[in-house]
A and B are shown apart, each in its own frame.
Chain A
Amino acid sequence: MTDSAVVEEKIAGEVCAAAEDARLTNELEPYLRMDRIPHIWCSGCGIGTAVNAFVRAVIDSKIEWKKLCVVSGIGCTGRVAGYLKLDSFHTTHGRAIPFATGLKLANPQLNVVVFSGDGDLTAIGGNHLVHAARRNIDLKVICVNNFIYSMTGGQAAPTTPKGTIASTTPYGFFENQLNLPQFVEACGAVYVARWTTFHVRQMRKAMVECLNKKGFTFLEIISPCPTLYGRRNNYRAGLDEMKMFKEKSEIKKDADVRDAVMIPGEKIVVGKFIDRERPSFLDAMDEHYREVLKDAYHPYTGAMI
Chain B
Amino acid sequence: MKADPIGVNSGTYFMDGDSACCEGALAAGCRFVAGYPITPSTEVVELIARRFPKIGGVFIQMEDEIASSIAISGAAWGGAKTMTVTSGPGFSLMMEHIGYAVMTETPCVFVNVQRGGPSTGLPTMPGQQDMMQARWGSHGDYEVIALAPNSPQECFDLTIQCFNLAERYRVPVFLMMDECVGHMTEKVVIPPADEIEVEPRHYTDLKPEDYYPYKDLENQVPKMIKAGDGYFVHITGLTHDERGYPAMNADAHQKLVNRLIDKIRDHVDDIVLLEEDGMDDAEVAVISYGISSRVASRGVRLAREKGVKAGQLRLISVWPFPEKKIRELAQRVKAFVVVEMNKGQIVREVERCAGGRVPTAGALNAGGAVHKPEEILNTIMGVAS
Contacts and interface: CB of A to CB of B under 8 A. Distances in A.
Contact of A105 (B4, B58, B100, B235): B58
B238 interface: yes
Interface stretch (A94-102, A141-149, A154-162, A258-266): A94-102
A40 B72 CA distance: 30
B74 A106 contact: yes
Contact of A130 (B29, B63, B233): B63
A300 interface: yes
A107 B227 contact: yes
Interface stretch (B78-86, B310-318, B368-376): B78-86
A109 B227 CA distance: 10
A67 interface: yes
Contacts of A127: 63-64, 67
A169 interface: no
A103 B62 contact: no
Nearest to B198: A305
Interface residues of A, number: 47
B230 A102 contact: no
Contacts of B243: 35
Contacts of A130: 63
A106 B70 contact: no
Interface stretch (B49-57, B215-223, B267-275): B49-57
Contacts of A128: 63, 67
B6 A103 contact: no
Max chain B Cβ within 10 angstroms of own Cβ: one of A98, A102, A127, A301: A102
Contact of A107 (B57, B68, B226): B226
A106 B73 CA distance: 10
Interface stretch (A203-211, A223-231, A249-257, A291-299): A291-299
A58 to B, nearest CB: 13
- Tier of interface size on chain B: 35 or more
A297 B56 CA distance: 8
Interface in A8-36: 33, 35-36
Max chain B Cβ within 10 angstroms of own Cβ: one of A107, A109, A127, A130: A107
Nearest to B55: A298
Contacts of A303: 78-80, 226
A71 B233 CA distance: 12
B14 interface: no
B8 to A, nearest CB: 14
Nearest to B52: A300
Nearest to B231: A87
Max chain B Cβ within 10 angstroms of own Cβ: one of A104, A109, A302: A302
Interface of B: 4, 6, 29, 31-32, 34, 52-58, 60, 62-64, 66-68, 70-82, 96-97, 100, 200-201, 226-238, 243, 245-246
